[in-house]
Structure 1
Amino acid sequence: MGLFKKRLVGLDIDGIEIRAVEVSGSSKNPEITNMGKVHLPEGAVKEGKIENPEKVVEALEELWDRYKIKSKKVVFGANNSDVIVRFALFPKLPDEKLGSLIKFQASDYIPYTLDDVELDYSIISEVEKDEGSLYNVLLVAARKDMLYNFIKTLGSAHLAIKDIKSSALVMDRLIPEKHRNDTVVIVNICFDACNILIMDKNIPAFARTITFSSTVNDSLRTVYRGRSKVEQEQNGGNIMLMEEIDSIIQFIAGDIRSSIAYYQSQNRDSTIENVYLVGSAAGDRKMVEGLIDSVGTYMEVLKPYNHLYERLLKQYGGGKEATEYAIAFSLALHGLGG
């Protein structure tokens, strides 16, 4: 047994904020030791990709200093159009032959030259088809230039990257234990993108990341920074600008509906039991009510492991929600072995 608890930080970055959750312990018994967020200057990160490394380094140093975060080990979430997630069926082969076949056929699924991406895969299940037993394989590819830009920037902030994960795929750890054998949808809404993950009996079955257009992104900035001169309404500590938020709701709701419809068309025997929301926008009542009305199904705002946040929520005096830090926390949980 080690004398010291493992400690690391889950790091979630979008075009407006950097959010960090520091954890220690194990994935089965985690403890949140610190958390915090800082705003990014406009243009530092765009569509989930770093545009101004110097500004991002300054924000990271401010985050670590302001909240007295101790660990320099981070699990970072990549959340942009340069991360591709695909599901594919391959014949059951020994590991070495399977790996060679996947690399050979990956170009059928990945819209980039393979020399330009880091490619990873995992076998998530076995299925029986007319042609025999097949592996259901999860493929994840990320453009090297995007990854290296993050790696260099975080290194300039004296952070050590333990792992890089797809923000969409880490949401699996946020689903309540009692529903992990059901078919559930979990949606993360941040300032640059919307992630949709469908889990079937605790196995990833569908994953999609929708990067917001500049119009939607500008609307989100307007809503959360209160720049517009349209009528404002105070709601739960956030200034909500109703003309802007309605267009955002319609855009996101359309993607949720189409994703669920596509999944059900491919899995006609599957019934979706629950739809969960996490992320910065999920903390706003008007946004959630609008999405429920537009999608036409009940959605529950998920506050995963909320009891672990209680001490820090009291310490910082409000303005923080477990759902807002859900991705950062889940990244950290994966880093602990979850």
Structure 2
Amino acid sequence: MAEKILLVDTDPGVDDCAALMMLMSQVPKVKIVGITCAAGNVGIRDVTINTVRIVKLFNMLNEIPIFGGCSEPMVLLPQTQDSTFYHGRDGLGEAPDVYPERSESLLDHVQAEHGVNAILRLSKEYAGRLQLVCLGALTNIAMAAKLDIDLPKRIKSIHVLGGTIIGYGNASPCAEYNFFTDPEAAYTVFRMFPQHCKTEVVPYETTTAHGIRPDLFNKLMSVDSMRANFFKAIFSTAKIYEDDLIAKGLSQGYCLCDAYVTTIVLNENAVTKSKSAKVTVEFSGSLSRGSFIIDHKNKGSPFLSSAEVTIIEELDDAICEDLIMKTFTE
């Protein structure tokens, strides 16, 4: 029997790809009961096609159902989010010819059931055992919780990539990309889930502090395997950006943000430092929209989360690197 029952909500994205690959490389130790897609790094059509490609790479299309989800945030404002400079216009590095090749026909593998409905159904089927692994904007999760307020009571734990600890933003001066993409969804999740289930957040600064060392990354990229060759091709656009940061001394390694969420899901011992606090996400303000608010000194506010969440501050690099290495070499 699988040790963990997982539902992954995602928006691939090359780092989402790495995270999904890490999880699938651990099957059957883990059971992935579904992958729900939401617009984020790119639009919902590209996100969904990308997800099918990644699952096909592991020959698991008959084992892991894929669901299309929300195509826009809960509140659509006249502002654009664009991460194509990093992920490429299609979200996977504009490498359509590497196996599994990109094709519109891949959408035939997507379930007819909407992702939000799938979340609710699976939460009942695996009540008390289901862990939500949230790699993108939280639109699908928030919409599911709005439709059924008892959803959080059926969830064992929820693990979220998003927010910042000290306001080191990558989508605005102070906001992280996922929360900035749908602040209302993030606010909803933190208002509804923490009082009912374990809630963990991996903030942006934690991921950047644990980038993969260049020597190890180069070793990974030299591996001649189907998995490694696929990732090498789709990471080419992102690598240009990461190489520039490293050359300028702004980064110590290659950052695969979503992979750190899957690391702590797969191995809780990877967490070496964390703190508990009530939190929320700001959804107003010309500069503060999407900011992750942490009640460091327990000041209190009716806008804060229903209970404390666990904020992951530091990770064991050796555990992270070992899981990533196994993903590409086994």
TM-score (norm 2): 0.32
Higher strand fraction (1 or 2) = 1
TM-score (norm 1): 0.32
Question: Bigger radius of gyration, 1 or 2?
Answer: 1
